[in-house]
């Protein structure tokens, strides 16, 4: 079972430092770089906000959620009538899942001293800079007393609200690539991007459509290679219409104040009115691992049968997790799920940020009484706001990312298999 970040990086494990022959390769790689015409490295480049033109140039549609696709109208069209949902949604992980670069969207620091990622290669480091032209990652080759920028690419897209981290992408014409440096929230530092070996000035990991299918609302593909896209069609963030389907008819009818007749089926998908399987499919498009596509990316629409578009492993609760968990498979393997009609929205309101662990106890108590817990007799009401910590403990991933100074970073994900865990399984 491959994890999303591994799709294009069969050697993800190589982010771990390997001594020995690698050093020679690095040395040769760096020598090669010095033969390329180089620009002088000007030391610390002062911080400056990116001008608006850079943001608007990337795509007219981005951020605004407007798309030329048939029937789609974009988030703003929903605002006037669904104000309350719209406002909390602006702070949700889905809305913030992908953005254009800006001082607020990039969580990593550009201040001198904090804007550097040293690597295990003494001749190479990366520097992150904010200039009038925009935000950049540069590989710097270092042969004291000389320092030269061997390669410099812009932050063009920001992937991740920053709950665990952010990965950045750049365009080369209409081809999309991952930048070599990622931001890690837990340590508040820059680290090597997954899939990139430590210590090489590599910028060449292509981004394919399945990655964007989970992290954006839409982008049209161009003929191969697989990382070529129609930039102008891009809709960033996971918008209302990703889960509710195209909204034009619904907007037009409601703007003309034509009410639904009694018994008439609505003209927009409300997942709550779908069968349980179809409801789960809306989330499983992105929360059940990458799977194997059976149809072009972005062809699934909420309300449809996901199995016709994607084959997903039905049993992955024990796969080693990276930042990409398999909440659908984990939850489906729980007794709670199998013995009730629970769905993801039993606990989650996707229109709001979902980060207050203690508050989730309330949801458990809609089906269980506090007395039903074996611990109640000894611990009493102390367990009241703690159901999740014992029954959905954080799960440490086996995936290792290499921080600077050789520190290992392992993401922790919320285990969605609700169960009774032994003492040694708890954090």
Alpha helices in 156-226 (DSSP H): 209-215
- Residue 343 C-beta: closest distance to ligand HEC, Å: 7
Judged by CB, which is closer to ligand HEC: 33, or 100?
Answer: 100
- Residue 390 C-beta: closest distance to ligand HEC, Å: 3
Let me know: does 170 contact 154? Beta carbons within 8 Å.
yes
- Residue 165 C-beta: closest distance to ligand HEC, Å: 5
CA distance 224 to 247: 31
Strands (E), 292-393: 292-293, 310-311
- Residue 38 C-beta: closest distance to ligand HEC, Å: 29
Judged by CB, which is closer to ligand HEC: 119, or 166?
Answer: 166
Judged by CB, which is closer to ligand HEC: 39, or 292?
Answer: 292
Judged by CB, which is closer to ligand HEC: 142, or 163?
Answer: 163
CA distance 157 to 143: 32
Written as six digits, the tokens of 152 are: 């410099």
CB atoms within 10 A of CB 101: 23
Residue nearest to ligand HEC (CB): 374
- Residue 171 C-beta: closest distance to ligand HEC, Å: 14
Judged by CB, which is closer to ligand HEC: 222, or 394?
Answer: 394
Helix, strand, coil shares of the chain, percent, nearest 5, are 30, 20, 50
Q: Is 212 exposed, middle or buried (0-12, 13-18, 19+ CB in 10 A)?
A: buried
Main-chain dihedrals φ then ψ at residue 377, nearest 5 degrees: -65, -30
Judged by CB, which is closer to ligand HEC: 33, or 235?
Answer: 235
- Residue 214 C-beta: closest distance to ligand HEC, Å: 3
């Amino acid at each position: 079972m491959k994890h999303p970040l591994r799709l294009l990086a069969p050697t993800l494990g190589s982010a771990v430092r390997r001594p020995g022959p690698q050093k020679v390769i690095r040395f040769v790689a760096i020598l090669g770089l010095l033969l390329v015409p180089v620009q002088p490295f000007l030391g610390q480049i002062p911080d400056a906000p990116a001008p608006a033109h850079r943001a608007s140039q990337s795509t007219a549609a981005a951020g605004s959620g407007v798309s030329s696709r048939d029937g789609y109208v974009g988030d703003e069209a929903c605002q006037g009538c669904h104000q309350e949902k719209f406002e909390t949604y602006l702070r949700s992980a889905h809305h913030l899942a992908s953005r254009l670069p800006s001082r607020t969207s990039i969580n990593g620091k550009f201040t001198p001293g904090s804007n550097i990622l040293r690597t295990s290669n003494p001749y190479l480091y990366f520097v992150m800079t904010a200039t009038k032209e925009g935000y950049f990652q540069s590989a710097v080759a270092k042969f004291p007393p000389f320092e030269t920028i061997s390669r410099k690419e812009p932050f063009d897209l920001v992937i991740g609200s920053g709950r665990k981290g952010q990965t950045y992408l750049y365009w080369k014409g209409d081809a999309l690539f991952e930048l070599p440096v990622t931001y890690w929230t837990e340590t508040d530092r820059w680290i090597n991007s997954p899939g990139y070996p430590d210590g090489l000035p590599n910028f060449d990991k292509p981004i394919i459509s399945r990655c964007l299918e989970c992290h954006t609302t839409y982008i049209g593909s161009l003929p191969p290679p697989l990382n070529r896209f129609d930039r102008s069609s891009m809709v960033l963030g996971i918008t209302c219409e990703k889960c509710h389907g195209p909204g034009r008819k619904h907007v037009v009818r409601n703007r003309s104040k034509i009410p639904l007749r009694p018994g008439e089926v609505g003209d927009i998908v409300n997942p709550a009115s779908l069968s349980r399987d179809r409801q789960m499919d809306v989330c499983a498009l992105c929360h059940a691992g990458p799977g194997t596509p059976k149809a072009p990316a972005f062809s699934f629409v909420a309300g449809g049968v996901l199995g016709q578009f994607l084959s997903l492993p039905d049993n992955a609760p024990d796969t080693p997790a990276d930042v990409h968990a398999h909440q659908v498979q984990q939850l489906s393997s729980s007794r709670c799920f199998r013995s009730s009609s629970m769905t993801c929205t039993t606990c989650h309101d996707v229109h709001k940020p979902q980060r207050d662990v203690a508050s989730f106890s309330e949801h458990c108590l809609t089906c269980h009484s506090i007395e039903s817990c074996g611990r109640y007799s000894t611990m009493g009401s102390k367990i009241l706001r703690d159901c999740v910590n014992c029954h959905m403990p954080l799960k440490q991933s086996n995936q290792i990312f290499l921080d600077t100074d050789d520190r290992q970073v392992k993401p922790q994900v919320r285990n969605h298999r609700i169960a009774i865990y032994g003492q040694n399984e708890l954090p």
